[in-house]
């Protein structure tokens, strides 16, 4: 669940999740369910119209300026009253036409920004969701009584249940279904591990400071906010200037510190809170640093991801799996990033839960035995070429995407399909889910392909899962740093004659040239891929020396012809030794859960019509409580039956809540609907009870002895509510809803 920034030196995945730029990507024409959902819609026509509307607006303003000058000229020259009135009337008509164009432009901008409705209505919807979540204790700011800390949140009882259910389904859907090897590695990671992966040097965001107060801000966020606000609110912006700002949004991730600083100065961007001048941007490492042991001499970090723990354990996991490929290892755990200026609630936090899979596969065979299980799935995909050409995401069958080479290989395609099934079964709206391929400027140089599962919310398109073919970079980096071979073997039934690359560093010459760095240069030379090695051989033969980058010392060195021998020899081999490639799906659990909250939330009028009631339409799979049990009225016999049903539900493993308060049945329904409880069991006799379904509000009558097993079948997905309606009589009661 992640944007990967291309790096020319010792590149690695930044694994940063950012909000998609709406001016590049089309929104979907899909209204939210319920009376008070805003409509997140937009079309390419809105985006295409924007330029022509801005030009028309500029022309109209020019006409107004000319006509205004004519009115002033008539007045100053003492022209006839009728002539002045006619000129003023023409001026007013031009102003009305300008206002009409501004209105059209505002609509076009709303469509391009991902909302057919206004920004205010999207904000109002989001606030309604967040207010309900916090009031019902799904989550709240951490350390609230001490005014909290930005980017840290506590999950309350229903939030913990939703999270637990999501993770349980993740384990079932991936770990159990694919026979993955699950591990649990420490959050505290030694520095040497994160140096090898590149995080110590490169896991940074660019930061600026308020020069007077010292308050810190993310430089790219300030520039992005400025560009978006100008595009959305400044109707006087010329089409050319609008195109410039859109281009900046498109290449924002690619801007260097110098380029960001230049743009901030050019646009006069100041500190948001104080309007004070800002410092030049400089890199800030996002990892929380710590030390291991009391002496402080062993530096470490709180892990920014869970993947490195799997990579460093590859050799043992490979042995555990019988020295066979392919296999996958999985891990669920906390990760930590010291965000500069966290915002957007659960979408950008400093501590969060990741669920990551590292699927190790032979780089020469990335087919998947179960690809046919997902090949016919069809869903929204946004290939790189469509993004560049300004098209929308379109429905594409997965088999076609793989056969056409849009998706690099079957294994990557298989996991894209499995991620789609996982998210939609959780309750994510399939029409507000798309898979977007990384652009060239997002890809690390070692990555073969990378796709993000993006979910549309009130914030726009949110990356929640990243699915990447990371080639063999990670294992090679740790092999080079640790001097432990993280490789796999393919044994041949008969010996094979193969042409083998032989790299022989001349240690004496390297020692004289590089002294203390000799070992690291030698290891880097020995780890060269064949293509790089043969290019070096050609350069050495033609030029006598070549520049060579050594990751472990972080700089280029000059390799001369007498320092290394590179050749190819024919050898007999009984096995092939290779570094596996890695297909990595990475899930931001908090982001998925927040999008699920928005996709599940709607309001409906009370029976009296005097208020709007909040409802979370969670599928039973993830609902924090599966059902409620309460007597229709306070009555000892009914309460005894309710307690008996509660025991049956507990024995069946169904989470439930019993309510004996005697509050009106309508109010109790409303309270549990707001928690997303799918079913309510109401005891109104000693022999049978009614079961109410949350969204339809339909009720059926079931015998007391059978009700627990019926609820269990529906919540476990063995049957549907439609099946229940066929089997049991529909119940109608005047007192059921108040």
* Poorest-pLDDT segment among 12-21, 114-123, 259-268, 513-522: 12-21
Distance CA 75, CA 30 (A): 54
Of 66, 722, 24, which Cα lies nearest the Cα of 437? 24
Q: What element of type H or E holds 328?
A: strand 327-336
**What is the three-class DSSP state of 75?**
helix
Percentage of the chain exceeding pLDDT 70: 91
CA dihedral (482, 488, 493, 499) in degrees, to 10, reads -60
Predicted pLDDT at 45: 42
Predicted pLDDT at 47: 43
Predicted confidence (pLDDT) per residue in 55-96, tens digit: 888 888 888 889 889 889 888 888 888 888 888 898 888 888
- Selected residue with higher pLDDT from 182 and 74: 182
CA dihedral (552, 554, 555, 561) in degrees, to 10, reads 10
Predicted pLDDT at 31: 35
**What is the three-class DSSP state of 81?**
helix
Predicted pLDDT at 462: 94
Predicted pLDDT at 179: 95
Distance CA 382, CA 387 (A): 7
Band (pLDDT 50/70/90 cuts) for residue 9 is very low
Band (pLDDT 50/70/90 cuts) for residue 431 is very high
Using the predicted structure, report yes or no on whether residue 583 has a pLDDT greater than 90. yes
Distance CA 401, CA 396 (A): 7
Predicted pLDDT at 6: 33
* Poorest-pLDDT segment among 96-110, 210-224, 434-448, 701-715: 96-110
Calculate mean pLDDT across residues 565-586: 91
Yes or no: is domain 625-727 CATH 3.30.70.260? Answer: no
Torsion angles phi and psi, residue 117, rounded to 5: -100, 180
Predicted pLDDT at 592: 98
In CATH terms, the fold of domain 496-578 is 3.30.720
Distance CA 500, CA 654 (A): 61
Band (pLDDT 50/70/90 cuts) for residue 265 is very high
Distance CA 449, CA 435 (A): 13
Distance CA 196, CA 328 (A): 22
Fold match between 496-578 and 625-727? no
Using the predicted structure, report yes or no on whether residue 53 has a pLDDT greater than 70. yes
Calculate mean pLDDT across residues 627-656: 92
Distance CA 264, CA 274 (A): 16
Band (pLDDT 50/70/90 cuts) for residue 235 is confident
- Selected residue with higher pLDDT from 355 and 240: 355
* Poorest-pLDDT segment among 25-39, 64-78, 334-348: 25-39
- Alpha carbon 269 to its chain centroid, in Å, reads 28
Percentage of the chain exceeding pLDDT 90: 61
Using the predicted structure, report yes or no on whether residue 510 has a pLDDT greater than 60. yes
- Alpha carbon 524 to its chain centroid, in Å, reads 35
Predicted pLDDT at 110: 63
Q: How far apart are the first and last CA of the chain?
A: 44
Torsion angles phi and psi, residue 450, rounded to 5: -155, 135
* Poorest-pLDDT segment among 8-22, 146-160, 311-325, 351-365: 8-22
Calculate mean pLDDT across residues 10-22: 35
- Selected residue with higher pLDDT from 307 and 106: 307
Calculate mean pLDDT across residues 611-615: 93
- pTM, 2 dp: 0.80
Residues in Cβ contact with 477 at an 8 Å cutoff, skipping those fewer than 6 apart: 10, 12, 196, 197, 198, 551
Q: Are 591 and 346 in contact (CB under 8 A)?
A: yes
Predicted confidence (pLDDT) per residue in 367-417, tens digit: 999 999 999 999 999 999 988 887 889 999 999 999 999 999 999 999 999
Q: Average per-residue pLDDT in the chain?
A: 87
Predicted confidence (pLDDT) per residue in 433-487, tens digit: 999 999 887 777 778 899 999 999 999 899 999 999 999 999 999 999 998 999 9
Predicted pLDDT at 210: 92
Q: What element of type H or E holds 469?
A: strand 460-469
| Long-range own/partner contacts, residues 123-128 (CB < 8 A, 24 or more apart) | 123/458, 124/38, 125/32, 125/36, 125/37, 125/38, 125/458, 126/458, 126/459, 126/598, 128/36, 128/601, 128/603, 128/614
- Residue 710 CB neighbour total at 10 angstroms: 20
Domain boundaries, the chain: 43-114, 496-578, 625-727
Distance CA 357, CA 253 (A): 26
Output b/e per residue, 393-416; b: 16+ Cβ within 10 A: beebebbebbeeebbbbbbbbbbb
Q: How many residues does the chain have?
A: 738
Using the predicted structure, report yes or no on whether residue 10 has a pLDDT greater than 70. no
């Amino acid at each position: 669940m992640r944007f990967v920034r291309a790096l020319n030196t010792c590149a690695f995945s930044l694994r940063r999740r950012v909000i998609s730029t709406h001016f590049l990507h089309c929104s979907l024409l899909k209204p939210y369910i319920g009376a008070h959902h805003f409509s997140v819609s937009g079309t390419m026509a809105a985006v295409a119209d924007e330029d022509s509307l801005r030009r028309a607006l500029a022309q109209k303003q020019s006409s107004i300026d000319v006509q205004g000058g004519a009115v002033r000229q008539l007045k100053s020259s003492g022209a006839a009253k009728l002539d002045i009135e006619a000129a003023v009337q023409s001026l007013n008509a031009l102003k009305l036409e300008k206002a009409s164009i501004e209105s059209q432009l505002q609509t076009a901008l709303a469509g391009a920004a991902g909302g057919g409705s206004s920004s205010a209505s999207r904000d109002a919807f989001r606030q309604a969701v967040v207010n309900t979540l916090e009031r019902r204790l799904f989550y709240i700011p951490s350390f609230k009584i001490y005014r909290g800390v930005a980017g840290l949140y506590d999950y309350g009882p229903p939030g913990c249940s939703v999270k637990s259910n999501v993770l349980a389904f993740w384990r079932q859907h991936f770990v159990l279904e694919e026979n993955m090897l699950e591990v649990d590695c420490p959050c505290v990671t030694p520095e040497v591990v994160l140096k090898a992966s590149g995080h110590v040097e490169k896991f940074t965001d660019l930061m600026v400071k308020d020069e007077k107060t010292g308050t810190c801000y993310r430089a790219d966020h300030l520039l992005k906010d400025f560009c978006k606000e100008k595009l959305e609110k400044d109707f006087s912006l010329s089409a050319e200037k609008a195109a410039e700002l859109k281009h900046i949004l498109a290449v924002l991730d690619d801007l260097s510190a110098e380029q960001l600083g230049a743009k901030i100065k050019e646009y006069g961007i100041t500190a948001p809170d104080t309007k004070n001048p800002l410092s030049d941007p400089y890199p800030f490492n996002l990892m929380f640093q710590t030390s291991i042991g009391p002496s402080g001499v062993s530096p470490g970090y709180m892990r920014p991801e869970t993947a490195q723990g799997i990579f460093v354990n590859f050799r043992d996991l490979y042995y555990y799996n019988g020295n066979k490929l392919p296999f996958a290892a999985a891990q669920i755990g906390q990760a930590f990033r010291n965000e500069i200026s966290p915002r957007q609630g659960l979408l950008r936090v400093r501590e969060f839960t990741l669920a990551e899979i590292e699927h190790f596969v032979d780089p020469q065979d990335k087919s998947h035995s179960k690809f046919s299980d997902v090949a016919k799935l069809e869903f929204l995909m946004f290939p790189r070429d469509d993004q560049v050409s300004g098209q929308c995401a379109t429905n594409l069958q997965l088999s076609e995407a793989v056969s056409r080479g849009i998706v690099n290989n079957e294994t990557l395609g298989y996991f894209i399909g499995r991620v789609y099934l996982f998210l939609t079964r959780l309750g994510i709206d399939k029409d507000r889910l798309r898979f977007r391929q990384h652009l060239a400027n997002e890809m690390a140089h070692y990555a073969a392909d990378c796709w993000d599962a993006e979910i549309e919310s009130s914030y726009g398109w949110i990356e929640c899962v990243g699915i990447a073919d990371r080639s063999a970079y990670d294992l090679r980096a740790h092999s080079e740093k640790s001097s432990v071979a993280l490789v796999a073997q393919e044994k041949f039934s008969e010996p094979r004659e193969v042409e083998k690359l032989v790299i022989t560093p001349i240690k004496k010459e390297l020692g004289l040239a590089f002294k203390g760095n000799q070992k690291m240069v030698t290891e880097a030379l020995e780890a060269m891929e064949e293509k790089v090695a043969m290019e070096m051989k050609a350069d050495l033969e033609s030029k006598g020396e070549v520049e060579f980058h050594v990751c472990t010392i972080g700089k280029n060195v000059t390799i001369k012809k007498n320092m290394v021998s590179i050749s190819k020899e024919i050898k007999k081999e009984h096995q092939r030794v290779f570094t596996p490639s890695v297909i990595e799906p990475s899930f931001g659990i908090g982001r998925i859960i927040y999008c699920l909250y928005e996709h599940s939330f709607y309001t409906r009028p009370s029976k009296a019509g005097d208020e709007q009631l909040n409802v979370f339409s969670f599928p039973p799979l993830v609902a924090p409580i599966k059902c409620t049990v309460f007597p229709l009225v306070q009555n000892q016999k009914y309460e005894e039956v309710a307690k008996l049903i509660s025991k049956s539900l507990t024995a069946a493993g169904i989470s439930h809540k019993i309510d004996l308060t005697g509050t009106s049945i309508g109010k109790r329904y409303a309270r549990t609907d707001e928690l997303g409880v799918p079913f309510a069991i109401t005891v109104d006799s000693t022999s049978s009870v009614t079961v109410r379904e949350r969204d339809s509000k339909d009720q059926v009558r079931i015998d007391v002895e059978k009700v627990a097993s019926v609820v269990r079948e529906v919540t476990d997905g063995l049957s549907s509510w439609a099946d229940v309606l066929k089997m049991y009589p529909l119940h109608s009661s005047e007192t059921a809803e108040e």
